[in-house]
């Protein structure tokens, strides 16, 4: 009977593990960028996040080649671009070469009479045409004359120049040696677009490898020696952060596991025990990932990286178990004494993390679910599976001297009380008087991307001469035509504001794809061939142009009158098509257009000019949007942590039923949290949401310590039992500090934040528990 | 740099603008410069400052009469050149390093072009500026350079190296004596040509 009782949990555990392994083997790793986008966005945020998740933008890769003379860089850039043109994995490979713009120029020139806003009734009357011809004459005399003289017979009314003037204020990448190059000539630049969607990280990774391969193949030979290629972009970030987090998770799990194993070997001197004590950790991590995968469909790299932090906490349970083994009682009874305390510790942890499930910030929600499930499974495995697996009469032999020393230190610890009090006061003061903002203020601080990578991105973008855009007009409507017509209306208002110098310029999808109505109106404004011929004859009076020069003009206007209207298909294969597609998007509820503004000097008068009651036209301040998004995450994290703290306090009241004991348990934790926060700030960092998660985890780990101290100081205990508990706490603490301390060297900002706060917080929790409650131990 | 403005940057990356004809510059030709060319260039390089008036006539096949312009030229070594057209309409071109500023007389403001982006215009302005500066290296980048005549009456022939510029211009003929330029004749592809006569203000 007893045997069967012991076997059931193992069988259940094995089935559960198999199920978890099955789920984990099928997990989909999500692009980390999504971990930071709100799950219930405002309409404004939705527009942006949808683009970021699977829009055209998410498919862009920016490449920089450096390490050579401008001539070599240009050659390498051309070689690479030509190779990538033939790769179906890329829908665009643009390095600024004229050939890559041929189609765009052809589109604009061939469709100039449908695209030009100057084409209105009266545009071709003799007086207006005469003025256009005089301007053409002036241009012919300028240095640009040689370039435009071939188009004057086709375009005497100057539609091409009018269209190009619309680009005023638009930044262009600097050119050198016929390709895009940074101003100092040290880096050639390419803009690539993958055919696969940005959220498809595997495809993005293949695309990146293909770029590197093509680059290596196209730059063989001594003239190219020393050239490097660097890549940046949303897809690159996703791939790199996934790989980086995976690497960190893997390497640091191994390092931590080795360190913890050495520690456990020193204490238990048994390989078998060592192997067994890692089972709760592994089971917990598997269950955590499986739960997130089931709950959210995708697992973010950050969550996976966080998995290793569980080692520090979950291995504690096994340590408590093994330290309490003794020859006098069977393994299954070992935990009986401490089980109520351990159970309370786990419940405390779960109380702390549960509110995180509710977070609108998906990264935070996943971490909460992962921790709670992982820890529950780890403790259950420790309680019901481990006892069946240990050798029958195993008992760890703790060195007598060491134990004696620990007990002596613990009894002396309360002498430090004044010091701790001073430290807490100093910490509170230093937080209160902290001059810089306490919280990191930008959303990008949450990115699991190293500082160096973020800087590279900034540098390449600066090289391309693309300024950050702050203002954007979002226009929505029921169908494409409605959105285009509204964009045209907004455009004419913006033209007036541009003339008043309230902004420098703007981009709009209607620049390359006017609404059908507008195109029809322009066609209707074109005079028929006979009429135009008559107008032209009058317009030419007094000008030195040859009389038969403008036959091509007459023919092309006649053709434009009956040409089919432009549709998105007409733009197929051009860079302009990509641009239009990125500014005009179809969503489940309708269509949206985005008009980025340049050089805005007075946002409020733009807002006033555009004010519409139905909310179909919105001026977005992106900086404000993203700041407020981040602020809402911070507020949410603080609120949820407060709820967690409240839940922990309530739980302790219900279990301990004594204000004094609750205070004794919570005080060391509070002191540890305050001082850990002060240390992080004093080291010159700003707090991230993940520091808060780290503090929460420190409270979870630390509550085990203080609860054990509370137990020892409030119950009649055998001295040997007390000693065991104290040794197990010390070993557990060292294991935790190893696990989290290592993580603070990971180089991933998010993981570093968690690692350092937990390592400091957990150590201080143990120390302060001893300081506050040490005197009462085994008196 | 926030996530969202990063996103918008990527949006705008698509909005990379057009340029009319960015052509590629090519490798310099390693012609053996004759000794006399070296001497001419050396002489021209000694002039640090010069002012002149010009008269330019442009013969275009699309026009029934040639266009004529006149104004002043001002050069300051090594890389500043101002061409101020006074007639028939005022227009000022200021070339400074790799920037060309165009100011029209009719208050429509000024416009700045980066020469890197307009290789054809760049090739034109260098034919004058580099000649004035005696900068044979830059001339060689854009043209096959040959010299005829003698010190008192020399003829510098510039033939474009780049095939795209070749499509626009056959050759540029610069005539002068000692360290002065007297005429610049641009022979465009297709028979159009312009002649600029320059007379130095020695006052």
DSSP per-residue codes, A357-400: GG-SSHHHHHHHHHHHHHHHHHHHIIIIIHHHHS-TT------H
CB contacts, 8 Å: A175 with chain B: 19, 22, 114, 116-117
pLDDT category at B22 given cuts 50, 70, 90 is very low
Assess whether pLDDT exceeds 50 at residue B30.
no
Residue of A777, A657, A655, A766 lying closest to A717 (CA atoms): A777
Give the Cα separation of A375 and A310 in Å (integer). 8
- SS3 of residue A336 by DSSP: coil
Q: In the prediction, which pLDDT does B26 show? A: 36
pLDDT category at A465 given cuts 50, 70, 90 is low
Q: Which tokens in the block code for residue A228?
A: 């490097």
Higher-pLDDT residue of A650 and A199 is A650
What's the mean pLDDT in A149-171? 78
Long-range contacts of A213-216 (CB under 8 A, 24+ apart): A214/A80, A214/A83, A214/A84, A214/A87, A215/A65, A215/A76, A215/A80
B7 at A interface, C-beta within 8 A: yes
B-chain residue closest to A579, CA distance: B14
Condensed to tens digits (0 to 9), the pLDDT of residues B79-129 reads 888 988 888 888 888 888 888 888 876 655 677 777 777 777 888 888 888
pLDDT category at A678 given cuts 50, 70, 90 is very high
Assess whether pLDDT exceeds 60 at residue B7.
no
Q: Which tokens in the block code for residue A74?
A: 């240009």
Domain ranges, ordered by start, for chain B: 3-17+32-197
B contact residues 99-158, partner A, Cβ 8 Å cutoff: 100, 102, 114, 116-121, 124-125
Shortest Cα distance, chain B CAs vs residue A166, angstroms: 10
Shortest Cα distance, chain A CAs vs residue B3, angstroms: 6
Give the Cα separation of B200 and B72 in Å (integer). 10
Q: In the prediction, which pLDDT does A776 show? A: 65
Give the Cα separation of A236 and A33 in Å (integer). 11
CB contacts, 8 Å: A105 with chain B: 18, 20
User: What are the φ/ψ torsions at residue A325 (nearest 5 degrees)?
Assistant: -70, 140
Number of other CB atoms surrounding residue A80 within 10 Å: 25
Number of other CB atoms surrounding residue A775 within 10 Å: 16
pLDDT category at A206 given cuts 50, 70, 90 is very high
- φ/ψ bin of A296: left (φ > 0), alpha (ψ from -120 to 50), beta (otherwise): alpha
Which of A224-233, A407-416, B11-20 has the highest average model confidence (pLDDT)? A224-233
Query: Chain B interface, mutation test: which of A146, A156, A513, A542, most B Cβ atoms within 10 Å?
Result: A146
Q: In the prediction, which pLDDT does A355 show? A: 77
**Residue the block writes with tokens 């969503």:** A587
Number of other CB atoms surrounding residue B28 within 10 Å: 15
pLDDT category at B28 given cuts 50, 70, 90 is very low
B20, A147: Cβ pair inside 8 Å?
yes
Assess whether pLDDT exceeds 70 at residue A663.
yes
Q: Which tokens in the block code for residue A654?
A: 């219900």
Who contacts A651 (Cβ-Cβ below 8 Å, separation ≥6)?
Answer: A344, A347, A348, A351
Give the Cα separation of A642 and A620 in Å (integer). 32
ipTM for this model: 0.74
Is B32 within 8 Å of A123 (Cβ atoms)? no
Q: In the prediction, which pLDDT does A37 show? A: 65
Report the residue from A191, A444, A594 with minimal CB separation from B1.
Answer: A444
Condensed to tens digits (0 to 9), the pLDDT of residues A747-770 reads 777 778 888 898 999 999 999 998
Give the Cα separation of A288 and A304 in Å (integer). 9
Q: Which tokens in the block code for residue B55?
A: 């008269």
Assess whether pLDDT exceeds 90 at residue A208.
yes
pLDDT category at A233 given cuts 50, 70, 90 is confident
Report the residue from B2, B18, B61 with minimal CB separation from A444.
Answer: B2
Higher-pLDDT residue of B111 and A418 is A418
CA dihedral sign of residues A583, A586, A588, A589? positive
What's the mean pLDDT in A76-91? 88
What number of C-beta contacts closer than 8 Å exist between A and B?
184
What's the mean pLDDT in A461-481? 79
Q: Which of A217-231, A411-425, A426-440, B180-194 has the lowest mean pLDDT?
A: A426-440
- Domain range B3-17+32-197, its CATH number among 2.40.50.100, 2.50.20.10, 3.40.50.2000, 2.40.30.10: 2.50.20.10
CB contacts, 8 Å: B117 with chain A: 172, 174-175
User: What are the φ/ψ torsions at residue B38 (nearest 5 degrees)?
Assistant: -55, -40
Q: In the prediction, which pLDDT does B91 show? A: 83
Which segments within B77-109 are labelled E, that is strand?
80-87, 91-96, 99-104
Assess whether pLDDT exceeds 80 at residue B15.
no
User: What are the φ/ψ torsions at residue B33 (nearest 5 degrees)?
Assistant: -75, 130
Give the Cα separation of A474 and A552 in Å (integer). 40
- SS3 of residue A208 by DSSP: helix
Report the residue from B18, B22, B125 with minimal CB separation from A178.
Answer: B22
Number of other CB atoms surrounding residue B29 within 10 Å: 12
- SS3 of residue A174 by DSSP: coil
Is A55 within 8 Å of A582 (Cβ atoms)? yes
pLDDT category at B25 given cuts 50, 70, 90 is very low
pLDDT category at B1 given cuts 50, 70, 90 is very low
B-chain residue closest to A451, CA distance: B1
Condensed to tens digits (0 to 9), the pLDDT of residues A286-324 reads 898 899 888 888 887 767 766 666 666 788 888 888 877
DSSP-assigned letter for residue A56: G
Who contacts A641 (Cβ-Cβ below 8 Å, separation ≥6)?
Answer: A352, A355, A692, A695, A696
Higher-pLDDT residue of A142 and B96 is B96
Report the residue from A74, A461, A626 with minimal CB separation from B9.
Answer: A461
Shortest Cα distance, chain A CAs vs residue B194, angstroms: 10
- Mean pLDDT (chain A) is 82
Assess whether pLDDT exceeds 50 at residue A476.
yes
B contact residues 167-186, partner A, Cβ 8 Å cutoff: 168-169
Q: Which tokens in the block code for residue A252?
A: 């640091």
Q: Before A284, cis peptide (omega within 30)?
A: no
Give the Cα separation of B180 and B157 in Å (integer). 16
Is B131 within 8 Å of B123 (Cβ atoms)? no
End-to-end alpha-carbon separation of chain A, Å?
Answer: 42
B3, A152: Cβ pair inside 8 Å?
no
Query: Chain A interface, mutation test: which of B25, B56, B62, most A Cβ atoms within 10 Å?
Result: B62
Assess whether pLDDT exceeds 70 at residue A44.
no
Q: Alpha helix locations (H) across B63-110?
A: none
Who contacts A247 (Cβ-Cβ below 8 Å, separation ≥6)?
Answer: none
B5, A623: Cβ pair inside 8 Å?
yes
Report the residue from B4, B67, B120 with minimal CB separation from A48.
Answer: B4
Give the Cα separation of A319 and A307 in Å (integer). 19
CA dihedral sign of residues A74, A76, A82, A87? negative
The H or E element that residue A189 is part of is strand A187-194
Give the Cα separation of A523 and A525 in Å (integer). 5
Q: Which tokens in the block code for residue A699?
A: 């409270």
Condensed to tens digits (0 to 9), the pLDDT of residues A241-252 reads 777 777 777 777
Query: Chain A interface, mutation test: which of B3, B7, B86, B142, most A Cβ atoms within 10 Å?
Result: B3
B18, A101: Cβ pair inside 8 Å?
yes
Q: In the prediction, which pLDDT does A520 show? A: 92
Q: Which tokens in the block code for residue A517?
A: 């109505």
Report the residue from B5, B15, B17 with minimal CB separation from A626.
Answer: B5
């Amino acid at each position: 009977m007893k045997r069967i009782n012991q076997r059931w949990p193992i069988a259940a555990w094995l089935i559960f593990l198999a199920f978890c392994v099955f789920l984990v083997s099928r997990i989909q790793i999500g692009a980390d960028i999504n971990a930071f986008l709100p799950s219930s966005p405002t309409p404004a945020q939705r527009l942006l996040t949808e683009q970021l998740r699977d829009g055209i933008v998410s498919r862009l890769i920016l490449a920089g080649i450096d390490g050579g003379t401008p001539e070599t860089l240009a050659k390498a850039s051309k070689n690479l671009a030509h190779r990538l043109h033939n790769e179906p994995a890329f829908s665009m490979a643009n390095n600024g070469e004229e050939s890559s713009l041929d189609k765009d120029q052809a589109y604009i020139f061939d469709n100039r009479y449908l695209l030009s806003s100057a084409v209105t009734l009266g545009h071709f009357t003799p007086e207006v045409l005469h003025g256009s011809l005089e301007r053409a004459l002036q241009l012919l005399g300028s240095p640009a004359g040689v370039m435009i003289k071939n188009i004057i017979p086709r375009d005497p009314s100057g539609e091409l120049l009018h269209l190009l003037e619309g680009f005023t204020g638009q930044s262009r990448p600097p050119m050198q040696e016929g390709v895009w190059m940074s101003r100092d000539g040290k880096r050639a630049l390419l803009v690539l677009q993958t055919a696969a969607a940005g959220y498809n990280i595997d495809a993005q990774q293949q695309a990146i490898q293909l770029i590197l391969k093509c680059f290596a193949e196209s730059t063989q030979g001594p003239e190219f020696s020393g050239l490097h290629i660097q890549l940046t972009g949303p897809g690159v970030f996703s791939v790199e952060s996934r790989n980086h987090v995976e690497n960190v998770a893997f390497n640091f799990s191994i390092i931590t596991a080795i360190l913890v194993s050495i520690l456990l070997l020193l204490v238990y001197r048994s390989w078998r025990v060592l192997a067994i004590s890692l089972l709760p950790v592994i089971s917990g991590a598997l269950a955590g990932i499986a739960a997130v995968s089931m709950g959210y469909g995708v697992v973010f790299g950050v969550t996976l990286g966080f998995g290793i932090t569980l080692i520090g906490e979950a291995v504690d349970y096994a340590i408590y178990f093994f330290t309490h083994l003794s020859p006098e009682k069977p393994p299954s009874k070992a935990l009986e004494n401490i089980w109520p305390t351990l159970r309370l510790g786990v419940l405390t942890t779960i109380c702390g993390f549960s509110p995180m499930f509710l977070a609108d910030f998906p990264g935070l929600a996943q971490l909460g679910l992962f921790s709670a499930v992982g820890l529950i499974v780890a403790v259950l495995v420790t309680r019901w599976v481990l006892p069946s697996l240990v050798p029958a009469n195993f008992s760890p032999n703790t060195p007598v001297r060491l134990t004696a020393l620990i007990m002596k230190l613990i009894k002396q610890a309360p002498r430090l009380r004044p010091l701790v009090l001073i430290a807490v006061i100093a910490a509170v003061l230093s937080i209160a008087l902290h001059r810089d903002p306490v919280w990191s203020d930008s959303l990008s601080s949450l990115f699991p991307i190293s500082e160096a990578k973020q800087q590279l991105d900034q540098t390449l973008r600066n090289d391309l001469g693309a300024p950050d855009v702050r203002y954007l007009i979002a226009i929505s409507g029921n169908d494409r035509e409605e959105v285009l017509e509204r964009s045209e209306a907004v455009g004419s208002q913006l033209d007036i504001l541009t003339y008043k110098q309230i902004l420098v310029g703007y981009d709009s999808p209607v620049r390359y794809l006017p609404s059908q109505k507008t195109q029809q109106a322009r066609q209707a404004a074109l005079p028929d061939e006979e009429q135009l011929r008559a107008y032209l004859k009058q317009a030419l009076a007094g000008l030195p142009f040859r009389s038969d020069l403008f036959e091509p003009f007459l023919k092309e206007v006649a053709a434009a009158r009956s040409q089919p209207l432009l549709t998105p298909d007409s733009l197929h294969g051009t860079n302009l098509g990509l641009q239009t597609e990125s500014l005009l998007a179809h969503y489940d509820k309708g269509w949206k257009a985005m008009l980025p503004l340049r050089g805005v000097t007075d946002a409020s008068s733009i807002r006033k000019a555009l004010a519409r009651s139905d909310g179909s036209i919105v001026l977005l301040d992106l900086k404000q949007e993203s700041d407020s998004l981040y602020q809402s995450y911070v507020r949410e994290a603080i609120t949820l942590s407060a709820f967690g703290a409240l839940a922990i306090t309530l739980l302790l009241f219900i279990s301990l039923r004594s204000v004094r004991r609750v205070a004794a348990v919570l005080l060391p934790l509070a002191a540890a949290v305050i001082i850990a926060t002060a240390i992080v700030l004093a080291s010159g960092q700003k707090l991230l949401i993940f520091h808060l998660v780290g503090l929460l985890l420190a409270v979870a780990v630390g509550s085990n310590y203080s609860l054990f101290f509370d137990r020892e100081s409030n119950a009649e205990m055998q001295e040997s039992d007390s000693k065991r508990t104290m040794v197990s706490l010390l070993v557990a603490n060292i294991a935790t500090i190893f696990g989290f301390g290592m993580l603070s060297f990971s180089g991933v900002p998010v993981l570093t934040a968690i690692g350092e706060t937990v390592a400091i917080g957990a150590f201080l929790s143990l120390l302060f528990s001893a300081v506050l409650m040490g005197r009462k131990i085994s008196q | 740099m926030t996530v969202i403005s990063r996103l918008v940057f990527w949006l705008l990356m698509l909005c990379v603008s057009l340029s009319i004809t960015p052509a590629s510059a090519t490798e310099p030709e390693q012609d053996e410069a004759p000794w006399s060319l070296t001497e001419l260039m050396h002489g021209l390089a000694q002039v640090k400052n010069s002012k002149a008036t010009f008269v330019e006539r442009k013969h275009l096949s699309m026009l029934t009469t040639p266009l004529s312009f006149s104004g002043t030229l001002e050069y300051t070594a090594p890389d500043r050149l101002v061409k101020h057209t006074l007639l028939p309409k005022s227009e000022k071109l200021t070339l400074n390093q790799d920037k060309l500023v165009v100011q029209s007389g009719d208050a429509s403001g000024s416009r700045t072009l980066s020469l890197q982006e307009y290789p054809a215009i760049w090739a034109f302005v260098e034919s004058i500026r580099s000649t004035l500066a005696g900068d044979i290296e830059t001339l060689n980048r854009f043209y096959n350079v040959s010299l005829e005549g003698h010190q008192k009456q020399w003829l510098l022939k510039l033939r474009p190296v780049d095939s795209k510029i070749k499509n626009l211009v056959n050759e540029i003929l610069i005539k002068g004596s000692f360290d002065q330029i007297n005429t610049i004749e641009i022979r465009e592809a297709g028979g159009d040509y312009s002649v600029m006569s320059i007379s130095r203000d020695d006052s």
